[in-house]
Amino acid sequence: MAIDEQLDERVTAVVQAAGLVRPVNRFFAAAGAVDAVAVEDALAVARQWEVMTRTFMFTTISGLGAAARHFASQEAPGREALAAFQTAYRVIGDDLDNLADDFSAVAPAGAAGVHYLWWADSIVGPLAEAAGEGVTRELPAGVAKLLRAMESLADHRLGAAVQLRVVEATALDIAVAFRRMYGKVRVDGQKLFAASDALVWIDAHIKAETSHAKSVSDEETGMTALVESEEDAEELMLLATDYAAHWAHALDDFADQICAG
């Protein structure tokens, strides 16, 4: 049982206060409101998302290692904490090896199915070809700071819990925004992603993220079950508040870019 029975609700409030929900988030609103998205802007966001998903996956896995080292230092970690660790393992495992049916049914086989590579091949690749490989853009400040925040959580025993709980709370809305945004990219008047399976990465995430969000927020096997003390609870809240703010700034960067065109 979590030390603070309202801890998960407090994290939800942090996510909402950061503006990582519809309809208040600028990126979610912009993705639905814009009439068209320029190829160059769509490519810039896609490349940034590739780096973000890669860093998120590896730093979250690293955070699980920090939690595992903490468990190894104890005589016997609690069963609720281990159940939460199993949840985290399964959720981040989807990014690496598509454990969920929604992903395994459509993801490429082998390493090509690792989510950031799957994104790079199916979304970044067609955009780069259409825009020209010479098109580059520096990482916006918000995205760059988010990546540093991910790195800072990589060695923290609560780092994986923080990342998974915050990201999965907003991941569905991000996927829906991408679906709307990339459906509006046109080249010579034709939709770039016109084929029925062109946006399968996004569609698979829309299907899977509801269950992911539910699992990491479960009061018995969700991320807050990794908290062992009141001090842990307050530290998780501080980390989650900071991390959610970084995500909000990064999504603001996305909104600025797709609205610029």
Q: How many domains does the chain have?
A: 1
pLDDT of residue 190: 94
Q: What angle do CA 142, 148, 154 make, to 5 degrees?
A: 140
Is residue 116 within 8 A of residue 94, CB to CB? The reply is no
CATH number of the CATH domain containing 246: 1.20.910.10
2 found inside a domain: no
Residue 259: what residue type? C
pLDDT of residue 128: 95
pTM of the model: 0.95
Q: How many CA atoms lie within 13 A of 144 on its CB side?
A: 5
Structural domain boundaries enclosing 225: 7-260
**In terms of DSSP H, where are the helices of 5-120?**
7-17, 26-33, 39-72, 79-97, 101-104, 115-119
Instruction: Indicate if the pLDDT at residue 89 is higher than 80.
Output: yes
pLDDT of residue 261: 58
Instruction: Indicate if the pLDDT at residue 2 is higher than 70.
Output: no
pLDDT of residue 132: 85
205 found inside a domain: yes
Instruction: Indicate if the pLDDT at residue 133 is higher than 80.
Output: no
Q: Is 109 exposed, middle or buried, given 0-12, 13-18 or 19+ CB atoms closer than 10 A?
A: exposed
99 found inside a domain: yes
Instruction: Indicate if the pLDDT at residue 166 is higher than 90.
Output: yes
79 found inside a domain: yes
Q: What angle do CA 92, 97, 100 make, to 5 degrees?
A: 75
Write the pLDDT tens digit of every residue in 93-110: 999 999 999 999 999 999
Instruction: Indicate if the pLDDT at residue 242 is higher than 50.
Output: yes
Instruction: Indicate if the pLDDT at residue 77 is higher than 90.
Output: no
Q: How many CA atoms lie within 13 A of 145 on its CB side?
A: 15
229 found inside a domain: yes
1 found inside a domain: no
Q: What is the separation, in whole angstroms, between the first and last Cα of the chain?
A: 50
Q: CB under 8 Å to 28, separation ≥6 — which residues?
A: 21, 22, 173, 174, 176, 177, 251
Report the share of the chain in percent with pLDDT over 70.
97
22 found inside a domain: yes
Tokens of 123: 């979304």
167 found inside a domain: yes
pLDDT of residue 75: 82
Write the pLDDT tens digit of every residue in 44-60: 999 999 999 999 999 99
Is residue 121 within 8 A of residue 115, CB to CB? The reply is no
Compute the mean pLDDT over every residue in the chain, rounded to the nearest whole number.
Answer: 94
